[in-house]
Amino acid sequence: MAAELGSRAMFVAGGTDLFPKLKRRQFEIDTVIGLDFLPREIHNGSNECTVDAGVTLADASRDAHVNARFKGYADAAGLVSSPPLRNAGTIGGNLCVDTRCNYYDMTYEWRKAAGFCMKKDGDICLVAPSSPRCWAVSSSDTAPMAIALDVMSLRLRATPEMRSAYVKLRRRGSIDFPIAGAAVAAQLDGDIVTSCRIVLSAVASYPLQATAAEAFLKGKRLDGEAIDQAAELAARPAKPLDNADLTHFWRKRMVRVVVEQALHRISDQGAGFDG
Amino acid sequence: MKNELARDVERVVLFLDVNGERRDLLLPVHKTLLEVLREDMQLTGTKHGCELGECGTCTVLIDGRPELSCLLLPVQLQGRAITTIEGMAHGAELHPLQTAFAELGAAQCGYCTPGILLSARSLLESNAKPSRDEIREALAGNLCRCTGYTKIIEAIELAAGRMK
Ligand SMILES: Cc1cc2nc3c(=O)[nH]c(=O)nc-3n(C[C@H](O)[C@H](O)[C@H](O)COP(=O)(O)OP(=O)(O)OC[C@H]3O[C@@H](n4cnc5c(N)ncnc54)[C@H](O)[C@@H]3O)c2cc1C
Ligand code: SF4
Ligand code: FES
Ligand code: FES
């Protein structure tokens, strides 16, 4: 059916991203194809865990095994939107959530009045008018965490030394999308970092990996000084634009803070295994 | 933008379980649950707010869990138990949460109240004695512009105490 209808159809899981966008005419399609038939189980193995794409964010965030071994992932799922939206919204839908921009997440009439932009119906970017590309923001909470955990096909794998943390910044404590976020997964030998991934949300049009900070931390003791320097390095490549909530200057400053908080959580946390 | 009126509207026959009763309906396939409850079933207790998932006033329970009726399609809900605010009282007997809200003045304009009562009911069904933080978390998808939330939280605590 999807092949036959092509771009006239879209898949829908929880509908919590797609339906508001259809109402705002951001997608104009004839058919939605429900994904209710997809499996929605969490398969817990001894040191890995597979989350089916149809699992709701609420179930992923409450699962005891995911919480014990992949704390950052459970927290990221539990920080998406609000409780009723997490009861419907899925892990698969969260990975595929559309990029966001204040000039795009508006009604058809508003966008028409402002002048359509290149994300849909127009040919310029209203945030960066001379830019040849769209800078709408990647705002998924779980995608950066999945990348930090090096997830393949939603299979989370833990080693005894692995820890993870996710810190999200938004105007209110619920409902709002992230305006900056840090997903960190690290392996520690005692308090020495043996490997580390830091991925930022909502500061680029894709989850942004802070590779310089990762390289800096490798082999270092995870103390206050190392955390400060790593956070500074991680914030450098983040270039938020004026197309999300609050000012982009402040959001840029806060990237350092969310990374610092996530690294402190890693340093305070026990290892990912509870036994 | 395509002309809405020129589109063929596909209709489907659906069986929905609403407040414990099976309802047979012939519906345009694109209608949201919020529209169907209010316009086709006259269950106007479910309120119409932002329509975009942001305010929570359209909250209903699906298999006992709060979800937003403005973002649900009835075609996805066959065989699921839908509870609206009309299903909360037993005949003339109010649910203890409804009584506590009335006694403590936890509703002012009342527009958020149906959604909040249903979110609270779902919470108390899984957690008979929630802490204040757990109550706040459970209501974190339901906005109220009048009360400042304090009376709402107190009413939920009062009802929880009485329901033990
Ligand atoms: C008020 C509000 C606040 C929100 N806040 C946040 C937030 O803070 N953080 C955040 O990350 N998101 C937020 N969201 C967006 C959304 O609720 C979540 O991203 C949710 O996880 C989307 O999942 P879904 O199942 O509802 O996706 P859907 O809306 O069903 O689908 C989203 C997209 O993914 C595709 N898709 C879905 N499942 C699959 C699959 N299995 N395979 C292939 N493609 C698939 C769909 O075709 C569609 O393009 C918010 C939404 C609202 C309305
Ligand atoms: S970043 Fe530019 S092109 Fe992209 S959605 Fe915003 S205004 Fe449109
Ligand atoms: S009307 Fe559904 S969330 Fe506002
Ligand atoms: S009582 Fe008016 S919005 Fe809550």
d(CA B161, CA B164): 6
- Minimum CA distance residue for ligand 1 atom 28: A15
**Which residues in chain A come in under a pLDDT of 50?**
273-275
Chain B hits for A81, CB-CB cut-off 8 Å, are 53, 141
Atom of ligand 3 nearest to the CA of B68: 2
Report CA-CA distances (Å) from B48 to A25, B4, B58: 20, 22, 6
Residue A271 confidence (pLDDT): 59
Nearest CB among A58, A88, A174 relative to B71 is that of A88
On whether both B110 and B71 belong to a single domain, the answer is: no
Residue B10 pLDDT class (50, 70, 90 cuts): confident
Strand extents, DSSP E, chain A: 9-12, 31-34, 42-44, 48-51, 155-157, 162-169, 180-189, 192-201, 208-209
In chain B, which ranges are continuous DSSP H helix?
A: 33-35, 96-104, 113-126, 132-138, 150-163
On whether both B136 and B105 belong to a single domain, the answer is: yes
Q: How many domains does chain B have?
A: 2
CB atoms within 10 A of CB B158: 18
> How many A×B Cβ pairs under 8 Å?
67
Angle at A229 between CA A226 and CA A230, to 5 degrees: 80
On whether both B75 and B139 belong to a single domain, the answer is: no
Residue A127 confidence (pLDDT): 95
Q: Does A23 touch chain B (CB under 8 A)?
A: yes
Tell me which residue has tokens 């680029």: A204
Residue B36 pLDDT class (50, 70, 90 cuts): very high
On whether both B6 and B71 belong to a single domain, the answer is: yes
On whether both B81 and B103 belong to a single domain, the answer is: no
The CATH number of whichever domain residue B25 belongs to comes to 3.10.20.30
* Nearest CA among A92, A34, A91 for reference residue A66: A91
Residue A189: which residues within 8 A CB-CB, separation 6 or more?
A161
On whether both B7 and B82 belong to a single domain, the answer is: yes
Residue B125: which residues within 8 A CB-CB, separation 6 or more?
B64
On whether both B82 and B112 belong to a single domain, the answer is: no
Q: Does A33 touch chain B (CB under 8 A)?
A: no
Q: Does A85 touch chain B (CB under 8 A)?
A: yes
Q: Which of B68, B87, B106 is the last residue of a domain?
A: B87
Q: Three-class SS string for A15-60?
A: CCCHHHHHHCCCCCCCEEEECCCCCCCEEECCCEEEECCCCEHHHH
Min Cα–Cα distance to chain B from A204, Å: 24
Q: What is the ipTM of this complex?
A: 0.94
Query: Does B62 sit within 8 Å of A83, measured CB to CB?
Result: no
Cα-to-centroid distance, B105 and ligand 4 (Å)? 11
Cα-to-centroid distance, A88 and ligand 3 (Å)? 14
- Minimum CA distance residue for ligand 1 atom 14: A81
* Nearest CA among B63, B58, B65 for reference residue B34: B58
* Contact yes or no for B53/A16 (Cβ under 8 A): yes
On whether both B124 and B72 belong to a single domain, the answer is: no
Query: Where in the sequence is the domain holding B18, given as residue range(s)?
Result: 2-87
Q: Which of B34, B65, B87 is the last residue of a domain?
A: B87
Ligand 3 pocket check for B64: Cβ under 6 Å? no
On whether both B80 and B131 belong to a single domain, the answer is: no
End-to-end CA distance of chain B: 55
* Nearest CA among A225, A196, A192 for reference residue A213: A196
Evaluate if residue B9 carries a pLDDT over 90.
no
d(CA B30, CA B14): 13
Query: Does B67 sit within 8 Å of A88, measured CB to CB?
Result: yes
Query: Does B140 sit within 8 Å of A175, measured CB to CB?
Result: yes
Query: Does B140 sit within 8 Å of A174, measured CB to CB?
Result: yes
Name all domains of chain A by residue range, CATH numbers in brackets. 38-100+137-268 (3.30.390.50), 101-136 (no CATH)
On whether both B70 and B18 belong to a single domain, the answer is: yes
On whether both B145 and B101 belong to a single domain, the answer is: yes
* Contact yes or no for A168/A258 (Cβ under 8 A): yes
Atom of ligand 1 nearest to the CA of A177: 8
On whether both B117 and B144 belong to a single domain, the answer is: yes
Closest-CA residue of chain A to B118: A84
CB atoms within 10 A of CB A222: 21
Note the pLDDT tens digit of each residue in B45-70. Answer: 999 999 999 999 999 999 999 999 99
Min Cα–Cα distance to chain B from A88, Å: 6
Query: Does B2 sit within 8 Å of A82, measured CB to CB?
Result: no
Residue B5 confidence (pLDDT): 53
Q: Which residues line ligand 2 (CB under 6 A)?
A: A 101, 103-104, 117-119, 125-127, 134-136, 243
Mean pLDDT of chain B: 95
Bridge partners (DSSP) of residue A165 are A184
Note the pLDDT tens digit of each residue in B81-100. Answer: 999 999 999 999 999 999 99
Note the pLDDT tens digit of each residue in A95-110. Answer: 999 999 999 999 999 9
- Torsion angle of C-alpha atoms A177, A180, A185, A189, degrees rounded to 10: -140
Q: Which of B65, B87, B109 is the last residue of a domain?
A: B87
